Amino acid sequence: MANATDHLWMHFTRMASYSAGEVPTIVRGEGAYVWDAQGRRYLDGLAGLFVVNAGHGRTELAEAAAKQAGELAYFPLWSYAHPKAIELAERIAALTPGDLNRIFFTTGGSEAVEAAWKLARAYFKRTGKPNKYKVISRYIAYHGTSMGALSITGLPGIKSDFEPLVPGAIKVPNTNFYRAPEHGDDPEAFGRWAADEIGRAIEREGPDTVAAVFLEPVQNSGGCFPPPPGYFERVREICDAYDVLLVSDEVICSWGRLGEYFGAVRYGYQPDIITTAKGITSGYAPLGAMIASDRLMEPFLTETGMFAHGVTFGGHPVSCAVALANLEVFAREDLVGHVRANEDAFRATLEKLYDLPIVGDVRGDGYFYGIELVKDKTTRETFTEAESERLLRGFLSTALFQAGLYCRADDRGDPVIQLAPPLIAEQQHFDEIEQILRTVLTEAWTKL
């Protein structure tokens, strides 16, 4: 629509790039597809933004929202409750691993991460360790954009405008085995090294100052880095040894994305906190949550105890009603099982692209993959910043969309294409993704 840039300030968008052209405007969705204002169809290869897990056009989720809005459109969770929040908290607690039974609702992922850091600080102050306030996270990792979450984020390019940030955010190596600085021929040894870097960081900072470690099950930014064998087992040992909380940031990796309700279950580790959002409602309403263990709530159960934190729309009745309806869809259609049954086929279809000279690595799990692009497959030489700009923003982003595939061409680490389709996707969709990528990447190689 011609007037889209007159008043609408789009997120993470170079607004000047639309000064001479129209903004792509999406008006409808159905299943794994969306349509723009001109009637063109696109395969949604990113589930919106890792969000629309149950697929587009689910009228029962819209109806659940309308029904709840007619009964109770809004009431806060500040010293009061409402039935849908109670029911949803109970439903979530039944799905989480271990004793993660305390559900603190937010409206999205950044708020959930912010709440988790605040809880970690408050917990240690109330248990006699007031100097434990720092957090450790990984290079290139994205954990949100509010000031605390942005401090935990490991992407310098989106932080510089807002510095100085919250002090105490420490960075350690990520689990990109394709570019492992150590043990590049041994995934298990690499995983041990990467986990031990967390322990070394805790020692450098002082164990009495570190409150938490924030890790995604599969790191998003940089292009889907799965954990090496034994990585999370070792991280858990380190956190226990130093009395540091392990926060599993599952804003993307929960609700079936990795073939389990929670990524921590997929990889067999027990967090102290899980942060979640996105797929909890499949995007039909905004909702997030910080999920904490019972022991973390104990210091706040005294007569005057209170976690002095809250957000106006956290646990909104309409959003909770949508989340409950969404989980009914998950259960009835076994969407989590569907991902497990089809993830090998998805991987195998994407791995067909290895015959292209520009494809260096295909990595991920479940329905969550990154394809790293390279100049030289043998040496794994990557592109310069200028080359990456021309390749990703100058060609691939537009060309893939024009070819009918909505996905992410990402330059926050080495150049990658990210794919995370709705969990309803099947082989026909995998084939369509592969065919479009093959055509566009083949053309991209000729432009280098």
d(CA 164, CA 313): 28
Whose CA is closest to 397, among 441, 353, 431? 441
| Chain segment 181-236, per-residue pLDDT in tens | 999 999 999 999 999 999 999 999 999 999 999 999 999 999 999 999 999 999 99
Q: Is 340 exposed, middle or buried (0-12, 13-18, 19+ CB in 10 A)?
A: middle
DSSP 149-183: HHHH---GGGTGGG-S--S-EEEE----GGG-SS-
| Chain segment 239-264, per-residue pLDDT in tens | 999 999 999 999 999 999 999 999 99
- State residue 402 phi and psi, 5-degree precision: -65, -25
What does the CA dihedral 379, 382, 386, 391 come to, rounded to 10 degrees?
Answer: 110
The tokens describing 35, both together, are 């349509």
**191, 284, 321 from 36: Cα distances, Å:** 43, 19, 29
What does the CA dihedral 298, 299, 302, 307 come to, rounded to 10 degrees?
Answer: -100
Whether the CB-CB separation of 31 and 287 falls below 8 Å is answered with no
Q: What's CA 98's distance to the chain center, in Å? A: 22
Q: What mean pLDDT is predicted for residues 94-104?
A: 98
Q: What mean pLDDT is predicted for residues 22-41?
A: 96
d(CA 68, CA 322): 9
Q: What mean pLDDT is predicted for residues 157-167?
A: 95
d(CA 300, CA 124): 12
Q: What mean pLDDT is predicted for residues 67-73?
A: 98
Q: What mean pLDDT is predicted for residues 17-29?
A: 88
| Confidence check: pLDDT of 27 > 90 | yes
Instruction: Indicate if the alpha-carbon torsion angle 429, 433, 439, 442 is positive or negative.
Output: negative
Instruction: Indicate if the alpha-carbon torsion angle 204, 209, 212, 216 is positive or negative.
Output: negative
- State residue 174 phi and psi, 5-degree precision: -90, -170
pLDDT at 447: 82
Whether the CB-CB separation of 134 and 170 falls below 8 Å is answered with yes
The tokens describing 45, both together, are 């290869």
| Confidence check: pLDDT of 2 > 70 | no
Secondary element (H or E) of residue 15 = none
| Chain segment 258-308, per-residue pLDDT in tens | 999 999 999 999 999 999 999 999 999 999 999 999 999 999 999 899 999
d(CA 218, CA 19): 36
Share of the chain above pLDDT 70, in %: 100
| Confidence check: pLDDT of 1 > 90 | no
Whether the CB-CB separation of 293 and 96 falls below 8 Å is answered with no
Q: To 5 degrees, how large is the angle CA 238–CA 222–CA 209?
A: 30
pLDDT at 318: 98
Q: What is the pTM of this model?
A: 0.96
Q: What mean pLDDT is predicted for residues 343-347?
A: 98
Whose CA is closest to 45, among 317, 409, 326? 409
Cis peptide bond N-terminal to 271, omega within 30: no
The CB-side HSE value for 316 (13 A sphere, CA atoms) comes to: 19
Mean pLDDT (the chain, rounded): 96
| Confidence check: pLDDT of 49 > 80 | yes
pLDDT greater at residue 3 or residue 130: 130
Q: How do beta strands 26-30 and 33-36 pair?
A: antiparallel
DSSP 262-276: SHHHHHT---SEEEE
Tell me the residue type at 277: A
DSSP 42-106: EEETTHHHHT-TT-B--HHHHHHHHHHHHH-S----SS---HHHHHHHHHHHHHSSTT--EEEEE
Whether the CB-CB separation of 159 and 146 falls below 8 Å is answered with no
| Confidence check: pLDDT of 156 > 70 | yes
| Chain segment 375-393, per-residue pLDDT in tens | 999 999 999 988 888 888 8
pLDDT band at 17 (very low <50, low <70, confident <90, very high): confident
| Confidence check: pLDDT of 403 > 70 | yes
Q: What mean pLDDT is predicted for residues 364-370?
A: 98
